[in-house]
Amino acid sequence: MSDKDSGSSFAIGFLIGAIAGVAVGFLYAPKTGKETRAMLREKADEIKEKADEVTVKAKEAALEAGKRVKDKFEHKED
């Protein structure tokens, strides 16, 4: 596995862990409904930002992998 692949895997694992941690935290949090909803909105925004970052990195990694494959095929034809 390349360094880029392990970086994407780490980011995805981190995101899943963050979501699980937030869910468990909400189950044990002694807050009012209004406070919990506000915190949910805030955490959802944070998670969306992280997901957007992971998506951008995954797209970049896919494009780079596509370029490497294309280069290998072009060099084999020579």
pLDDT, averaged per 10 consecutive residues of the chain (78 residues), comes to 62 82 78 82 87 88 89 75
Q: How far is residue 53's CA from residue 33's CA, in Å, rounded to a whole number? A: 30
The pLDDT value recorded for residue 21 is 84
Sign of CA dihedral 48, 62, 11, 20: positive
Model pTM score: 0.51
Are the beta carbons of 54 and 11 closer than 8 angstroms?
yes
Sign of CA dihedral 49, 51, 57, 59: negative
